[in-house]
Structure 1
Amino acid sequence: MQKMGMVIGINPESIVEYKALHAAVWPQVLATLQKANIRNYTIFLREPENLLFGCWEYHGNDFDADMAQIGEDAETKRWWRICGPCQQPLASRLEGEHWAMMETVFHMD
């Protein structure tokens, strides 16, 4: 199992909509994440900086293949088309990233 964290900006005018969407995530989107070995997924909001911090546990053996599987799911693509405009990717993210992945510097069980 690998714990992973990521960050992205959020448009201030989209915060209410984003919270409402995530209060009732579509079942197919959740099932796709589960199938791709994602567990214990949480998103936090930091205002007034308007940052979203996401963290999850990855329980698979091939992260790239599992992420590709998520990206191929039609319902997840539809979800992203709705949520994507709410988000502001960081200028410092790596090529190919939407959410910027973060380095683990401390963990306590």
Structure 2
Amino acid sequence: MTRHGSVIGLSEQGKADYLRLHAAVWPGVLAKISDCNIRNYSIFLKEPENLLFSFFEYHGADFAGDMARMAADPVTQEWWALNKPLQQPLDTRKDGEWWAEMTEIFHHD
């Protein structure tokens, strides 16, 4: 199992839509998240900066493969198409990232 944290901005104009969408995430999106070995998935909002922090645990053996399967899923693609315009990626993210990956520096069970 590996833990993953990432961060992205949320536009003030899109905040209400983003919150509405995530109050009722589509069942097909949730099923694909589970199918791709993601567990304990949360998204937090930090206001007034409008930063979204994502955390999940990956319980599979092929993270890149599972993420590629998720990205190829038509329902997930439709979900992302609704959410992407509401988000504001950080200028400091690495090439190829939308949500900026974070480095875990501390953990306690």
In the superposition, the TM-score normalised over structure 1's length comes to: 0.98
Deviation at residue 13 of structure 1 after TM alignment: 1.3
Structure 2: gaps spanning 5 or more residues: none
Whole-Å separation in 2 of the counterparts to 1:71 and 1:98? 13
Number of residue equivalences: 109
The residue number in structure 2 matching 1:20 is: 20
Whole-Å separation in 1 of the counterparts to 2:39 and 2:23? 17
Structure 1: gaps spanning 5 or more residues: none
Aligned ranges for residues 81-96 of structure 1 at < 5 Å?
81-96=81-96
Deviations 1:26-63 (Å, cap 9, x if unpaired)?
A: 00001111011000100000011110000000001111
Whole-Å separation in 2 of the counterparts to 1:23 and 1:48? 20
The residue number in structure 1 matching 2:101 is: 101
Whole-Å separation in 2 of the counterparts to 1:72 and 1:30? 15
Whole-Å separation in 2 of the counterparts to 1:44 and 1:24? 15
User: Which runs of structure 1 show a deviation greater than 4 angstroms over 4 or more consecutive aligned residues?
Assistant: none
Whole-Å separation in 2 of the counterparts to 1:2 and 1:14? 31
Whole-Å separation in 2 of the counterparts to 1:69 and 1:97? 17
The residue number in structure 1 matching 2:70 is: 70
SS of corresponding position for 2:68: helix
In the superposition, the TM-score normalised over structure 2's length comes to: 0.98
Whole-Å separation in 2 of the counterparts to 1:34 and 1:98? 21
Identical pairs, percent? 53
